[in-house]
Amino acid sequence: METMDQLLEGRVRDLLSTADRQLAAQSYDAAIDTYRTALAELSNESAAARTDVAGRLAAAGRARETSQRVGALLAEARYHQTAGRLSQAYATVAAAQALDPANLAAAQLRAQLIAAQPELATLAGEPAPVPEPAPAELPERPSVVEAKAAEPPGAEQPEPAPARTESAGAPVSAPIEPPSFWQLEDDVSFRERPRQGELGTEPELLSILDPAPGPAETPDNLLTVRAILIGAGFAVFLLGVLIVKSLGTWFAPPAAVSSPASLTAPVLLFQAEPEYTKEALQARLEGTVVLYAQIDPSGNAVNLHVLRGLGMGLDARAIEAASRWRFRPGMRDGTPVPFETTLEVNFRLP
């Protein structure tokens, strides 16, 4: 049978194995707690084992501090990257990699910074990444305006060849551009050209551009039209008023029928207070019981029944108290009549 020391050593070995796995998984807080538990399980005689566990505990603490420092440096580097300070971000990432060379997040962030600014690679003595060549594209044909703008200002423009007439029987070498509309307008000789041609009378260009104004409407005509319109509108308004009045006399409602005599409600003259039951007093119950009642011509509350109760015998006590209430009965034309209503009986602790 195993002794107590052997069982204890076996438990410590299990704790140390668990703590080592937690440390490898970067669960530093859990690994530190497990190392501390293993250190507490060791007996005072196991000095060498306690020294070994204490060393592992210190190494786990240093690893946690390094991880926290690397995380803070990476957060600072991302802040510089967002602000556009890529050089500072690269220096901060380099410091984080110096603390933890195997950190994957630091390596990825460093690669992003170098891709954004290849000059940063020269800071660490690395060759700058060569950008991939873009696919060749055919040059676009320059427009006439761009071609003229590209010509030097001192270059002489070639003179167009003189147009040949058809009198010699040869075809025309270059088409003759007709004058534009604005050139015809500015040409004085065109305005002075005779109006009669071979094809008939030519339209006057100036009359098309500047048509002769028509006869202006005199103010007297405007006033006359407005007066006619106002008079016609007023006549239509009067005609409508007369039609409405005539229709009103034809469809007038009959005289109102006199309403029946008004009914007056009963008036409470005497109210008896309800009594508590023993159970309600012990339960310290308070509330209101709502009753349906008919007030007869004598002023008594009859046909009582509960609409909303409280229980514990208070509903019966409410009916008993309401039956002793006295009212001035409801009146119609000076005659007492029955009246339906609701009564509220309140229960309040003394």
Of the given ranges (6-20, 120-134, 281-295), which has the lowest mean pLDDT?
120-134
The domain boundary residue, chosen from 94, 112, 129: 129
pLDDT at residue 35, rounded to an integer: 80
pLDDT at residue 315, rounded to an integer: 92
pLDDT 10s digits, 25-47? 888 888 898 888 877 777 665 67
Nearest one of 178, 174, 170 to 158, comparing CA atoms = 174
**Residue 208 placed within a domain:** no
CA 239 to chain centre: 57
Four-CA torsion 77, 82, 85, 88, nearest 10 degrees: 0
**Residue 99 placed within a domain:** yes
C-alpha dihedral sign at 232, 235, 237, 240: negative
Q: How far apart are CA 145 and CA 142, in angstroms?
A: 8
The domain boundary residue, chosen from 94, 129, 164: 129
| CATH number of residue 323's parent domain | 3.30.2420.10
Domain that holds residue 314: 264-347
Tell me the pTM.
0.33
**Residue 23 placed within a domain:** yes
pLDDT at residue 2, rounded to an integer: 44
Nearest one of 271, 282, 341, 279 to 314, comparing CA atoms = 279
pLDDT at residue 93, rounded to an integer: 85
More confident of the two residues 27 and 142? 27
Which stretch, 105-114, 154-163, 171-180, 268-277, has highest mean pLDDT? 268-277
DSSP-assigned beta bridge partners for residue 294: 302, 340
Amino acid at 181: F
**Residue 110 placed within a domain:** yes
Confidence check: pLDDT of 166 > 50: no
pLDDT 10s digits, 303-347? 999 999 988 888 999 999 999 999 999 999 889 999 999 999 999
Contact 128, 122 (CB under 8 A): yes
pLDDT at residue 342, rounded to an integer: 94
Q: How far apart are CA 306 and CA 242, in angstroms?
A: 64
**Residue 82 placed within a domain:** yes
pLDDT at residue 257, rounded to an integer: 41
pLDDT at residue 193, rounded to an integer: 53
pLDDT at residue 102, rounded to an integer: 82
**Residue 197 placed within a domain:** no
**Residue 235 placed within a domain:** no
Confidence check: pLDDT of 101 > 50: yes
Domain count, the chain: 2
**Residue 190 placed within a domain:** no
Residue given tokens 């048509």 in the structure block: 211
Burial class (CB in 10 A: 0-12, 13-18, 19+), 93: buried
Estimate the crossing angle of helix 104-116 against helix 47-82, to 10 degrees: 20
Start-to-end CA span in the chain (Å): 79
Q: Which residues contact 98 (CB under 8 A, 6 or more apart)?
A: none
pLDDT at residue 45, rounded to an integer: 53
Confidence check: pLDDT of 83 > 60: yes
The domain boundary residue, chosen from 95, 129, 163: 129
Polymer length of the chain: 350
